[in-house]
């Protein structure tokens, strides 16, 4: 986890995304106990309400679940839910614009695939 934040998003969203990243990257697996709100407050040195807002969203979406008196845990299927959500966001944020620009430039599907393969080789 990184303790630094940037100004382009609210902090509670950044905290939430860092927990999501840990799940997607298998640092937190299904059934694992997630860091407590108090641990996150101490780590990030930010307001309890800010942390709680991000955690509550994850609970509301079924990514985390609470065990009364024990803590917060990663829900079964959470990783797949996050991957599907991120694939959809990837399409909306990147692919649609890419396809629209390719259409303007009259780039065929085959050419687009070749360009993507070339880009993958360069990274």
Largest pairwise CA distance in the chain: 60
Give dist(CA 13, CA 57) in Å, integer.
9
> Using an 8 Å Cβ cutoff, are 23 and 74 in contact?
yes
Specify the residue for token string 């509670």.
12
> What's the pLDDT score for residue 117?
95
Say whether both 18 and 71 belong to one domain: yes
Interval 7-34: pLDDT, tens? 788 999 999 999 999 999 999 999 999 9
Q: Is residue 29 part of a domain?
A: yes
Q: Is residue 3 part of a domain?
A: no
Across residues 94-122, what is the average pLDDT?
96
Q: Is the pLDDT of residue 2 over 60?
A: no
Give dist(CA 118, CA 102) in Å, integer.
16
Across residues 99-110, what is the average pLDDT?
97
> What CATH number does the domain containing 61 carry?
1.10.10.10
Say whether both 42 and 57 belong to one domain: yes
> What's the pLDDT score for residue 30?
96
Say whether both 57 and 86 belong to one domain: no
Say whether both 32 and 50 belong to one domain: yes
Name the 3-class secondary structure at 14. Answer: helix
Determine the Cα angle at 46 with ends 45 and 49, to 5°: 145
Say whether both 71 and 15 belong to one domain: yes
Give dist(CA 108, CA 114) in Å, integer.
10
Domain of residue 19 covers 11-76
Give dist(CA 121, CA 30) in Å, integer.
33
Interval 29-87: pLDDT, tens? 999 999 999 999 998 889 999 999 999 999 999 999 999 989 999 999 999 999 999 99
> What's the pLDDT score for residue 3?
59
> What's the pLDDT score for residue 7?
79
């Amino acid at each position: 986890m990184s303790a630094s934040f940037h100004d382009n998003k609210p902090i509670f969203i950044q905290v939430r995304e860092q927990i999501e990243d840990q799940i997607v990257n298998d640092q937190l697996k299904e059934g694992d106990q997630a860091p407590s709100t108090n641990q996150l407050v101490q780590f990030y040195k930010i307001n309890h309400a800010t942390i709680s807002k991000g955690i509550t969203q994850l609970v509301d979406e079924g990514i985390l679940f609470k065990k009364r008196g024990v803590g917060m845990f990663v829900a079964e299927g959470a990783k797949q839910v996050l991957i599907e959500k991120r694939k959809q966001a990837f399409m909306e944020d990147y692919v649609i614009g890419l396809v629209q620009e390719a259409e303007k430039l009259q780039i065929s599907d085959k050419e687009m695939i070749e360009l993507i393969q070339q880009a993958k080789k360069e990274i």
